[in-house]
Amino acid sequence: MSPQPAPADLPCLADPMATFPIRTFGDPVLRLETKPINEIDKAVHTLAQDMIETMYDAPGVGLAANQIGISRRIAVFDAQDELGPRVMINPEIVETAGEFEMEEGCLSVPGHWWEITRPAFARVKALDLDGNEVEYAGDGLLGRVLQHEVAHLDGGLLIDALPRRDRKKALKELRNENLGLT
Ligand SMILES: [Zn+2]
């Protein structure tokens, strides 16, 4: 069955963009390695737009597709610099340098922040929505958000970057919270 075409003289009232619920700690999709994107078609463009909308709505500075339940290798970010919102498809970290401790939170682990040490600088190679190879590189918030989002796409979460003792404590907290024990 085909949908009835909308009358041509009426404006389309539907919001062309949509936001998705964000999957949280304990959802197994967050722990799966995402699959690369082979074809950047219209569906991928729509997904990227919806992910940007979802990220700003949260609000957040980065979002990986598996955080909305889509196990594909695409993430969006806005490191609050002149770049604005960016899309990275099939990103890979190709270089890191230094060390930097920063308070880090995650939309999938709401209400928690930890001081997390990661490399200060990161360089990522990816494809943009036109299929061009692009590079994003920097330190500060940009370096951090690049590493955080690529880790998501590998099935990682920020607590993985904590030292062992702190990670055990964080896991216990999160499990108790999920069980309604806190
Ligand atoms: Zn996150």
Whole-number Å distance, alpha carbon 106 to ligand 1 midpoint, is: 4
Give the active site residue among 33, 101, 133, 149.
Answer: 149
Q: Which amino acid is at 117?
A: T
Catalytic annotation on 33?
Answer: no
CB atoms within 10 A of CB 66: 26
pTM: 0.89
CA of 11 relative to ligand 1 center, distance in Å: 37
Q: State in Å: Cα 25 to ligand 1 middle.
A: 10
Taking only the tens place, the pLDDT of each residue in 40-57 is 999 999 999 999 999 999
pLDDT tens profile 110-130: 999 999 999 999 999 999 999
DSSP sequence for 25-81: TT-GGGGSPPBPP----HHHHHHHHHHHHHHHHTT-SEEEGGGGT--BSEEEE--SS
For residues 121 and 102, give the distance between their C-alpha atoms in angstroms, rounded to a whole number.
13
Q: Ligand 1 centroid to 78 CA: how many Å? A: 13
CA 128 to ligand 1 centroid distance, Å? 21
* Cα 132 to ligand 1 centre (Å): 25
**Is the pLDDT reported for residue 3 higher than 60?**
no
By mean pLDDT, which of 16-20, 110-114, 131-135, 146-150 is the weakest?
16-20
